Amino acid sequence: MLGNVNGTHRSQSGPSASGAEDSLNDFWANRPRRPRRGRKIAGVAAGIGHRYGIDPVLVRVAFLVGALYGGAGIVLYLLGWLLLPEESDETSPLESLVGRGRSSTSAIFTLLLCGLLIPAFGWVFDGFFPGYIGLIVCAGALYLLHRNRSHVRQVAAQPVASPMPADTFATTAPRPQPSTVDTPADGTRELPVEERTTPPAWDPLGAAPFAWDLPEPSQPPVEEPPEPAQQRSKIGMMTIAALLIVGGGAALMTLVSPGTSGWFTPPHIVGVSLAVIGLGLVGGAFVRGGRGLIGLAVPLSMVGILMTASDFDGQGGVGDITEAPTTIDAVQSSYERSVGSVSLDLTRLPAIGDVNTRVDVDAGDATVILPKNADVDLKCETDVGEVTCLDRTINGLGGQLKVNNDGDDGPGGLKIDLTVKTDVGSVEVRRG
């Protein structure tokens, strides 16, 4: 009876269906606690996993994806570090800082965590659209997690009820009568042995009555039926199907409706795909499935970061461009490729004239060959890769070179104003 009362109390202590305010109040009152064992950094992911009965690995992956793509994971982890108390503390570090209880986290370290929140929030709220998506998705996932699994919590062991006194029902029980069996002087008592009159199971014909007093032979152990094989969760395949539909539909929109290509750029498509995978991971946390999505989310996050860091827009097409114009008018204002390479040979141009052009490659190589005597004003840059601009070379991230050179014959003659840029790849400008 005591167990039923406690179970009823726990079911009523969860968030009611009256609204989000009740869920938020219940979340704060029964928020996760950061354990000391099984933690990787501060125990935020482990605390959330233990509190709601899900695999902490999924929570860590969610934080990692949010951190890599938009910075929301860093903000939420720091907030969890500040607002979730350790399992042996009275309050969280932030509450302890304002005098509302004791925390094992020092005040100086708490202030340091608060200071780290400033650049983390700046990363999310500087107009980087996926940062907003990460915050909204993570906050919504935590709300749904608490609303559906708030009853899963570690409850302290209830004290065992003391047994009823033996005399409680003694009034209805007859008192034992004194025994009539004789007791020897040594205190032992011999009980009469009843002779067996029916054959045991091993002698149904009664052929050996002299051995009927032997014990029954032991029965062979009953083999328990094997546990049914656990059915594999279908959440992974469902998420992959949704990913193909959403990602393929977004890519198709850019081809069918050019007016939408301004929003359905490759970085945005990657962001939407990550949102679908994130929802699949959240659903998998409830049904103990979908772990295979982790191997898809991490590399896709890296691709998204690379695209956003390199301003990849995907509007230049795919393939290689090889051009060698022979007149000034034949030189285009720009040569662009999203994926591929551009090779531009300007050595056949006339010795007099003005040329202004640009080479832009999102992912690939850009090579330009200049006439020996042309006066050139060059700007060579790449986000990730190698830049060789005439006799100067740099490598790494964010490489940029500006060169002014009048050629072998000095000032005069053909003038070329050239900008060569790649997001990911190499840039090479040389004289022919």
Give the integer Cα–Cα distance in Å for 342 and 24: 56
**Is 209 within the bounds of a domain?**
no
Q: Please check whether residues 26 and 145 belong to one and the same domain.
A: yes
User: Is the model's pLDDT at 96 over the cut of 70?
Assistant: yes
| 44 and 125 fall within a common domain | yes
Residue 157 in any domain: the answer is: no
Residues 279 and 331 in one domain: no
Position 344 scores a pLDDT of 93
Domain that residue 96 falls in: 16-149
Residues contacting 70, CB < 8 A, separation 6+: 123, 124, 128, 130, 131, 132, 133, 134, 135
Residues 322 and 399 in one domain: yes
CA 415 to chain centre: 53
Q: Is residue 171 predicted with pLDDT exceeding 60?
A: no
Residue the block writes with tokens 């996932």: 141
Q: Mean pLDDT in the chain?
A: 74
In angstroms, the first-to-last Cα distance of the chain is 93
416 and 370 Cβ atoms separated by less than 8 Å: yes
Among 86, 117, 149, the domain-final residue is: 149
Q: Quick one: 365 and 255 in the same domain?
A: no
Residue 220 or 45, more confident: 45
In a domain, 183, yes or no: no
**9 has a pLDDT exceeding 70:** no
**DSSP category for residue 34:** B
**In this structure, are residues 366 and 387 in contact, taking their beta carbons and an 8 Å threshold?**
no
pLDDT in tens, 226-282: 655 556 667 778 888 888 888 777 767 665 655 555 566 677 777 788 888 888 877
Instruction: Give the pLDDT of residue 377.
Output: 92
> Which of 262, 293, 275 is closest to 70 using CA atoms?
275
pLDDT (tens digit, 9 = 90+) per residue, 10-57? Answer: 344 444 445 567 777 777 877 888 888 877 888 888 888 888 888 888
Environment class of residue 160 by beta-carbon count within 10 Å: exposed (0-12), middle (13-18) or buried (19+)? Answer: exposed
Least confident of 162-171, 190-199, 371-380, 383-392: 162-171
Give pLDDT tens digits for 317-369. Answer: 677 889 999 999 999 999 988 888 999 999 999 989 999 999 999 888 999 99
Judge if 333 and 299 occupy the same domain.
no
pLDDT at 46: 86
Query: Are 340 and 239 contained in the same domain?
Result: no
> Do 376 and 355 reside in the same domain of the chain?
yes
- % the chain with pLDDT above 90: 12
Do the domain assignments include residue 416?
yes
**Final residue belonging to a domain, choices 289, 309, 329:** 309
Backbone angles phi, psi at 401, to 5 degrees: -135, 140
Query: For every residue of 259-298, which 3-state class applies, written as one string?
Result: HHCCCCCHHHHHHHHHHHHHHHHHHHHHHCCCHHHHHHHH
Domain annotation covers residue 173 = no
pLDDT of residue 217: 66
Is residue 6 assigned to a domain? no
Structural domain total, the chain:
3
pLDDT band at 74 (very low <50, low <70, confident <90, very high): confident
User: Measured between alpha carbons, how far is 379 from 366 in angstroms, rounded to an integer?
Assistant: 13
Within this chain, do residues 400 and 282 fall inside the same structural domain, yes or no? no
> In the structure, what pLDDT confidence band is assigned to residue 1 with cuts at 50, 70 and 90?
very low
Q: Which of 70-79, 140-149, 168-177, 397-406 has the lowest mean pLDDT?
A: 168-177
Judgement on whether residues 25 and 133 belong to the same structural domain of the protein: yes
Cα dist. 259→62, 265, 313 in Å? Answer: 33, 12, 15
Same domain membership, residue 280 and residue 357: no
Is 302 domain-assigned?
A: yes
Q: Is position 192 within any domain?
A: no
The residue among 72 and 350 whose pLDDT is bigger is 350
Structure tokens given for 309: 């860091």
224, pLDDT greater than 70: no
Predicted confidence at residue 303, as pLDDT, reads: 73
pLDDT, residue 357, reads: 94
Q: Which of 55-59, 82-86, 154-158 has the highest mean pLDDT?
A: 82-86
User: Domain boundary residue among 149, 175, 199?
Assistant: 149
- Residues 11-33 as b/e (b if ≥16 CB within 10 A, e otherwise) read eeebbeeeeeeebeebbeebbbb
* Same-domain check for residues 283 and 381: no
